[in-house]
Amino acid sequence: MNDLVTISGLSKAYGHFMALNNLNLNIPRGRIIGLLGPNGSGKTTLIKLLNGLLTPSSGQILIDGKAPGVETKKKISYLPERTYLTSSRTVIDLVEYFEDFYDNFNREKAMSMLESLQINLNSRLKTLSKGTKEKVQLVLVMSREADLYILDEPIAGVDPAARDFILKTIIGNYNENASILLSTHLISDIEAVLDDVIFIRDGQIMLCSSVENIRETYGKSVDSYFREVFAC
């Protein structure tokens, strides 16, 4: 299989603290993958390295054969845990910003999703509820024709109705040659959409498996097995 991401011997140190320690990981195309681990496990560091926001201490990341940089930024669409969008901008301003900034932004797709949500395009981001802000951000990110979508805690702190929309949007708006890496603490809420999971703790991969394999091998849901492995 042609892997989208190949990670070899990846380590990242902050002073004497090893945030990631000799990670080896392949991410294939066409999969929705849960990146799961407790706080301080290394999830955020890995996400930042994939996005080229940090430099590895050692090892290598290849995204479609290229190290993180200008070329790979076109291939990755990233939803950070904390918004970077200017709260005083209107929704239509943000659509136009994404269209100007990203060659692979599909305005028609974004406008169609925003219309289905009945979001006023002239509303300023700061006037929207948390759930609606999350929806707008997700619509913008998923409207890019990217190879890898990295979503950091996309359903944290939103109501169940918003959660359902977000999950439907994730499933319905990526192509079979792309993959989604989804970091979350709310495993039971997203388990139904996952193909594979990565368990990470103390900067090391504990498990990399398909959801189907976990259910067949251990007779448990991913959420139950996660709680057992991490004793939480």
Record the tokens describing residue 140, joined without a space.
Answer: 């913008």
Is the CB of residue 98 less than 8 Å from the CB of residue 105? yes
> Tokens 């395009």 belong to which residue?
121
Record the tokens describing residue 113, joined without a space.
Answer: 């999703």
Q: What are the pLDDT digits (tens) for 43-69? A: 999 999 999 999 999 999 999 999 999
Is the CB of residue 11 less than 8 Å from the CB of residue 24? no
Q: What is the pLDDT of residue 155?
A: 83
Per-residue pLDDT of the chain (232 residues; tens, 9 = 90+): 579 999 999 999 999 999 999 999 999 999 999 999 998 899 999 999 999 999 999 999 999 999 999 899 999 999 998 877 888 999 999 999 999 999 999 999 999 999 988 899 999 999 998 888 888 999 999 999 999 999 998 888 778 887 888 888 888 877 788 999 999 888 998 999 999 999 999 999 999 999 999 999 999 999 999 999 988 6
Q: What is the pLDDT of residue 232?
A: 61
- Give the domains, in start order, of the chain with CATH numbers: 3-229 (3.40.50.300)
Backbone angles phi, psi at 47, to 5 degrees: -60, -45
Strand partners, 152: 183
CA 32, 34, 169, 180 dihedral sign is: negative
**Max Cα separation, the chain?**
51
Q: What is the pLDDT of residue 4?
A: 95
Q: Angle at Cα 75 formed by Cα 69 and Cα 80, nearest 5°?
A: 80
- Specify burial of residue 142 (Cβ count, 10 A radius: 0-12, 13-18, 19+): buried
Q: Is 224 helix (H, G, I), strand (E, B) or coil?
A: helix
pTM of the model: 0.93
Compute the distance between CA of residue 46 and CA of residue 23 in angstroms, rounded to an integer: 10
Strand partners, 8: 60
Strand partners, 182: 34, 151
Q: What are the pLDDT digits (tens) for 182-223? A: 998 889 989 999 999 999 999 999 999 999 999 999 999 999
Compute the distance between CA of residue 21 and CA of residue 84 in angstroms, rounded to an integer: 29
Record the tokens describing residue 230, joined without a space.
Answer: 């991490």
